Amino acid sequence: MNDMMLGAIAFSNCIASLFFLRFWKQTQDRLFLMFSISFGIEGINRVLMGLSRLNFNEEQPVIYFIRFVSYLLIVIAILDKNRTKPMIEQ
C-alpha cells in the first residue's frame, strides 16, 4: 500500500481515537473508551506497517489478527452498551 495512504489512514485513526477519548473523559462511558482503544490500535498498526522495513501487506495473518482484535473490541463495546440492565425495585 502506498506510504502516503498509510500515513493518512493512521492519522485519521489517531484523530478518531483522541475524539472518543475526549468524550470518555466527559462522560466516563466505557463505550467511548473502548472505541478510543480500538481506533488507537488501528492507528498504531498502520504506523508500524508504514515504518517497517519488512514487506507487510494486508493479506498477512498478523495484520488480520490485529484488525480482528480491534473490531472485536468495538463489537464488545456495542454489546456491553446495549445489554439489558437489571431493573431496580422501588
Instruction: Give the Cα separation of 85 and 90 in Å (integer).
Output: 15
Would you kindly state where each structural domain of the chain is located, as residue ranges? Answer: 3-82
**28-81: pLDDT as tens digits:** 999 999 999 999 999 998 888 888 766 666 667 887 888 899 999 999 999 998
What is residue 17's predicted lDDT score, i.e. its pLDDT?
A: 96
Q: Are 66 and 47 in contact (CB under 8 A)?
A: no
Q: Which residues touch 13 (CB under 8 Å, ≥6 apart)?
A: 39, 40, 42, 43, 46
Higher pLDDT, 14 or 60: 14
**18-28: pLDDT as tens digits:** 999 999 999 99
Cα dihedral across residues 61, 62, 63, 66: positive or negative: positive
Instruction: Give the Cα separation of 43 and 49 in Å (integer).
Output: 10
